[in-house]
Chain A
Amino acid sequence: MKPYGLLGIRRPVYVLIIVNLLFFVLLSLHVRPLDPSVLIVGGGVIILMTISYIIIVKRRMGDQYIFLIISMLVSLGIIMLYRLNPDYGLAQVKWYGLGIVLYFTSYILFRIIKNWDKYIYGYIIGSMLLFLITFTLGTNVGGSINWVKIGNFSFQPAEATKIFFVFFIASYYKLKLNSEETFVSREQKGKLSTNDRIPDSILQEQDCRDYESRVPDSHSGTRGHKSSDTFTPNAGKTIISPEEDTLPGDSADPDPYPDNDDTVSDLSQTDILTKPKALNYMELIRNKQIIKNKYVFLAIIYLHLFLLLAQRELGMTVLFYTIFISIFYIYEEDYKLLFYNIGAMGIILVLSYFTLAHVRVRLTTWIDPWGQITGKGYQIVQSLFAITAGGFFGTGLGLGNPDYIPVVHTDFIFSAICEEMGLFGGMAVVLLYFILVYRGFKIALTIKDTFKKIVALGITLIYGYQTFIIVGGVIKLIPLTGITLPFISYGGSSLISAFIAFGILQALSGLEGRFS
């Protein structure tokens, strides 16, 4: 089969063009009186999509499928929204246009700026600023404080926080694993990487005897003593000394990255802190010693979760946690800590069930919505009505009654798709997300750099889990938590943040040369 067709572009785009043509023509027939603007909008979407795709192919911008899948999902969303309310559809088209611009912008920015992994504090501060904005300026929508309104423009800060969150985790592990790697290189090259150097001010005050005597308190004695044997003042840093006997190649210890480096840095910190110098704190922060501590890292993660919970953003809380725990599972070697974290979430869930009424409501309406059909269970029941009304093939576009579902254009748009496009339509959407997630994983697997790998993985996980949380929620597979369906739900913040995120993924996809 010839892989390239007309204009030298890959064929799948034709499928998209055909699907969009059919849907928009159908839509124009549905809208009465006859409204040619639908066709103009449809044509605009198709042209926008095709040009963007050609740019991606011609400029060899990496993965050629991500954008196609996203566009398919967005155009499905536009069609559904247009059918529900032309105003929503039109607005979504504008967001789509802006989204594409930002897609390429984030692609270019991510390519040009090289050291994204150096701004770990920037990501934390960014997140916290967004939380601050939400708490001070946020309006209460449907029980959650998650919308910030400035003039006519309102947005959901949590959408941006998602990306900061992933960048934060990624730069943490980059920092952590890098310092482990540099121990190796240092040993070989006999010099420090500039990155990890402890300022002279600290070094001068460092008393190696003092350190040595402390080591047996928390470490196996042999290790501590051994390290003092090989200690050279020239290497300059007490932190590294315990590592020296656990380097790869040392047959006594096959583990190249021992899990006790943090404890060691703890020690060194206490060591340093006992010295009466006020600048030590600042120095440590500047040199990212504090942030490298995994308990500090975990504290920041849980601060995120707590703040989200305080905004009553249940869906987002669950999403952030699943992203964190998945990456934690992959990169954390201390399995005990992993189980503690899973246990901690369990306890938080149980506690919130007993203390937070809205958590209880979510759970009881999940178990039995039918008993509360006129009250709390109304939404989910309307959603199930819509899904079952669709049957296998759906009622047809514009022929169902998805408008019976409250907030159908955001959280419940999947139910509307199921009603009008049927079980097979719904399955197709789920499979599109699955392919998208699969592409994301594939990209993440090929990247070698820790930071970039985690960013690719994190973005993939955000949208994979988010899809599961909302789709599972509206079909009553799991308790319903309000969150948007990526690319399909109406809403600028969610669409734009998704485009930015996938723009980054697009940038990452070209790195290893396999996708270009």
Chain B
Amino acid sequence: MESNRKMVHIIILMSILFLSIIIYLTYIQIFRAESIAQNPYNKRQWAIEDKTIRGSIYDRNGIVLAETRVSEDGTMERLYNYDGLYSHAIGYSSKQYGKTGIEFYYNNDLLSLTGDNTVAKIKETVIGQPIEGHDLSLTLDHKLQKKAEQLLRGKTGSIVAMNPKTGEVLAMVSKPDYNPNNLAVEWEGLVDDERSPLLNRSLAGLYPPGSIYKLIITASVLENPEMDTNYNCTGTITIDGYTLTDFNKKGHGFLDLERSVILSCNTNFARMGVELGGKNVTQMSKRFMMGKTPGGDMPIVESRYPYGENMKPTDLATVSIGQGRLLVTPIHMAAVASTFANKGTMMAPYIVEKVKNAEGMVVMMAENRGTQVISDDIADEITDMMVAVVREGTGRNARIYGVNVAGKTGTAQNETGIDHSWFVGFAPAENPKIAVAVILESEGKTGGEAAAPIAREVLVEGLKGVDR
């Protein structure tokens, strides 16, 4: 019958419609579920949190930094044992104000949402016993962190200390900070404060690197041995009609490459940068992850390197002295300094060493990840120059008795008109144990004057616990 034949077509259509529902449902569940479930507007995340005792956070030596206490009536409270000391590193977890820091990007571990936790979930369901989250062991050293915080107190800026050979972040301080235990009271003021105390400058502060960028240019110069590095510095250089000057417009006289680094000679670096050309400068910058992040487990803001391989001479000159449109984060600079300390291999900085479940079993262990950026030899050569910088150059304030410290100062001009002070360095130069990056925002002093002494104190404290 004609109508029956056509009815079969409709039956086929109906089958296709129903099948498409099943296929689409399966597709959502397999490919889209994770990103949908983690959407911050998904209230279900809070529902899970109400049933979970959030994991504790420890420093590298087992000191409790953050924990959740359950009171007798079952309400849970998140406590930060050192108030503002870890406000930027660990952040906060609050129903009202959201999450930042490790509390944010390790949220799934702290709530034990990762991996298979079926047994705990069934237990929770059947006997109402709350799920226990995973605990985190950080790479941070509580003593060093405390020292760094003291050193930066009253200033605006950031200190990042790391193990150059592994990428473990040993201290990470950003000022101004806040007390995560006291958000409800402080919140309004924190949001309105124009010094942005809620910003973690170590990961998200973008600054012109100033003279510390000369280290990267030096690496490129060393890869091009045919280049003439000797120069007679008169204190000014004119490139394409723009005049660039040295600090205080003081000429350095006759210089070789090492002296140029030691004295941080802008004019010679500008000249060498122009001679290297856009290709060399950009390729070396990209190898040092400019325009990207150094990697690792933290949400580091990408550095800005808005140039291609075709650069105008003026851009080359400004980039060579770490100015122009180039912007970097403090942790990125700590990773750059570590590269020279670690024989040319740049380690990805990370902050969580271990994730343990409630039974103490390790569910996640950090891995050291590194990228060979420059050769062993060039790294050593630059290290020697950095040692000279501290011994006899702009970085003398970072000298430590009996220890060879390698370093580089930077004084970065910026739109505020008041210079940022930079220092990056590591010690001991022969067998580096700790690398550090210090920036003091709009300090109005040179890196040697203001940042180097702070870096020195961090290195001294860091070397005390050297048997780690």
Selected interface stretch from B12-20, B77-85, B160-168, B303-311: B12-20
Query: What's the least CB distance linking B37 to chain A, in Å?
Result: 5
What would 15 more interface pairs be, CB under 8 Å, given A329-B6, A373-B41, A391-B29?
A326-B13, A381-B39, A381-B41, A384-B28, A387-B29, A401-B47, A427-B22, A430-B21, A431-B22, A437-B14, A457-B7, A465-B14, A467-B18, A468-B14, A472-B17
- Residue A433 lies at the interface, judged by CB distance under 8 Å to chain B: yes
Across the interface, name the chain B residue whose C-beta is closest to A454: B3
B25 and A468 within 8 A (CB): no
Task: List the 8 closest pairs (A to B, CB-CB), nearest first.
Answer: A388-B33, A330-B6, A388-B36, A468-B17, A477-B24, A434-B18, A385-B42, A423-B29
B18 contacts across to A, CB distance below 8 A: 430-431, 433-434, 437, 464, 467-468
- Residue A441 lies at the interface, judged by CB distance under 8 Å to chain B: yes
Query: What's the least CB distance linking B39 to chain A, in Å?
Result: 7
B153 contacts across to A, CB distance below 8 A: none
Interchain CA distance A384-B32 in the complex, whole Å: 10
Across the interface, name the chain B residue whose C-beta is closest to A381: B41
Interchain CA distance A444-B14 in the complex, whole Å: 14
- Residue B95 lies at the interface, judged by CB distance under 8 Å to chain A: no
Interchain CA distance A441-B3 in the complex, whole Å: 12
- The B28-78 residues at the A interface (CB cut-off 8 A) are 28-29, 32-34, 36-37, 39, 41-44, 47
Interchain CA distance A401-B125 in the complex, whole Å: 14
| A464/B14 contact (C-beta < 8 A), A396-B125, A423-B25 known | yes
Query: What's the least CB distance linking B123 to chain A, in Å?
Result: 13
- Residue A374 lies at the interface, judged by CB distance under 8 Å to chain B: yes
- The A458-511 residues at the B interface (CB cut-off 8 A) are 461, 464-465, 467-468, 471-472, 475-477
- Residue A515 lies at the interface, judged by CB distance under 8 Å to chain B: no
- Residue B372 lies at the interface, judged by CB distance under 8 Å to chain A: no
- Residue A174 lies at the interface, judged by CB distance under 8 Å to chain B: no
B47 contacts across to A, CB distance below 8 A: 401
| A331/B3 contact (C-beta < 8 A), A385-B42, A389-B37, A389-B44 known | yes
Interface CB pairs A-B, < 8 A, 7: A331-B3, A384-B28, A389-B37, A441-B10, A468-B21, A471-B21, A472-B20
A477 and B44 within 8 A (CB): no
B42 contacts across to A, CB distance below 8 A: 385, 389
A438 contacts across to B, CB distance below 8 A: 11
Query: What's the least CB distance linking A169 to chain B, in Å?
Result: 13
A374 contacts across to B, CB distance below 8 A: 41
Across the interface, name the chain B residue whose C-beta is closest to A442: B11
A residues contacting B by CB (< 8 A) are: 326, 329-331, 370, 373-374, 381, 384-385, 387-389, 391-392, 396, 399, 401, 404, 418, 423, 426-427, 430-431, 433-434, 437-438, 441, 444-445, 450, 453, 457, 461, 464-465, 467-468, 471-472, 475-477
Query: What's the least CB distance linking A442 to chain B, in Å?
Result: 9
Question: Given B3, B15, B25, which contacts A434 in the complex, CB threshold below 8 Å?
Answer: B15
- Residue B375 lies at the interface, judged by CB distance under 8 Å to chain A: no
| A388/B37 contact (C-beta < 8 A), A329-B10, A441-B7, A457-B7 known | yes
A392 and B29 within 8 A (CB): yes
B21 and A472 within 8 A (CB): yes
A399 and B125 within 8 A (CB): yes
Across the interface, name the chain B residue whose C-beta is closest to A404: B43
Contact with A along B349-392 (1 / 0, CB 8 A): 00000000000000000000000000000000000000000000
B96 contacts across to A, CB distance below 8 A: none
- Residue B464 lies at the interface, judged by CB distance under 8 Å to chain A: no
Interchain CA distance A374-B42 in the complex, whole Å: 11
Tally of chain B residues near chain A (CB < 8 A): 32
Query: What's the least CB distance linking A319 to chain B, in Å?
Result: 13
- Residue B243 lies at the interface, judged by CB distance under 8 Å to chain A: no
- Residue B26 lies at the interface, judged by CB distance under 8 Å to chain A: yes
Interchain CA distance A388-B43 in the complex, whole Å: 13
Query: What's the least CB distance linking A19 to chain B, in Å?
Result: 20
- Report whether over half of chain B's contact residues are helix, strand or loop; otherwise say mixed: helix
Interchain CA distance A331-B32 in the complex, whole Å: 42
- Residue B4 lies at the interface, judged by CB distance under 8 Å to chain A: yes
Query: What's the least CB distance linking B396 to chain A, in Å?
Result: 56
Interchain CA distance A370-B40 in the complex, whole Å: 11
B10 contacts across to A, CB distance below 8 A: 326, 329-330, 441, 457, 461
Across the interface, name the chain B residue whose C-beta is closest to A441: B11
- Residue B468 lies at the interface, judged by CB distance under 8 Å to chain A: no
B25 and A418 within 8 A (CB): yes
Interchain CA distance A418-B29 in the complex, whole Å: 10
Across the interface, name the chain B residue whose C-beta is closest to A438: B11
Query: What's the least CB distance linking B253 to chain A, in Å?
Result: 62
Contact with A along B296-338 (1 / 0, CB 8 A): 0000000000000000000000000000000000000000000
Across the interface, name the chain B residue whose C-beta is closest to A384: B36
A381 contacts across to B, CB distance below 8 A: 39, 41
| A385/B39 contact (C-beta < 8 A), A404-B44, A423-B26, A468-B21 known | yes
Query: What's the least CB distance linking B38 to chain A, in Å?
Result: 10
Query: What's the least CB distance linking A294 to chain B, in Å?
Result: 16
A385 and B36 within 8 A (CB): yes
Interchain CA distance A331-B47 in the complex, whole Å: 54
Query: What's the least CB distance linking B90 to chain A, in Å?
Result: 28
A423 contacts across to B, CB distance below 8 A: 25-26, 29
Across the interface, name the chain A residue whose C-beta is closest to B24: A477
Interchain CA distance A477-B16 in the complex, whole Å: 13
Interchain CA distance A373-B34 in the complex, whole Å: 17
Give the one of B21, B22, B37, B125 with max A CB within 10 A.
Answer: B21
Interchain CA distance A468-B20 in the complex, whole Å: 9
Across the interface, name the chain A residue whose C-beta is closest to B122: A396
| A475/B24 contact (C-beta < 8 A), A389-B44, A401-B44 known | yes
B43 and A401 within 8 A (CB): yes
A477 and B7 within 8 A (CB): no
B43 contacts across to A, CB distance below 8 A: 385, 401, 404
Question: Given B25, B41, B44, which contacts A427 in the complex, CB threshold below 8 Å?
Answer: B25
Interchain CA distance A388-B33 in the complex, whole Å: 5
Interchain CA distance A418-B24 in the complex, whole Å: 13
Interchain CA distance A388-B26 in the complex, whole Å: 10
A472 contacts across to B, CB distance below 8 A: 17, 20-21, 24
A444 and B7 within 8 A (CB): yes
A476 contacts across to B, CB distance below 8 A: 28
A468 contacts across to B, CB distance below 8 A: 14, 17-18, 21
Across the interface, name the chain A residue whose C-beta is closest to B26: A423
Query: What's the least CB distance linking B110 to chain A, in Å?
Result: 19
Across the interface, name the chain A residue whose C-beta is closest to B124: A399
B44 contacts across to A, CB distance below 8 A: 385, 389, 401, 404
Interchain CA distance A438-B15 in the complex, whole Å: 9
Query: What's the least CB distance linking A376 to chain B, in Å?
Result: 14
Query: What's the least CB distance linking A238 to chain B, in Å?
Result: 28
Question: Given B3, B17, B25, B41, which contacts A387 in the complex, CB threshold below 8 Å?
Answer: B25
A326 contacts across to B, CB distance below 8 A: 10, 13
Query: What's the least CB distance linking A514 to chain B, in Å?
Result: 14
Interchain CA distance A287-B32 in the complex, whole Å: 59
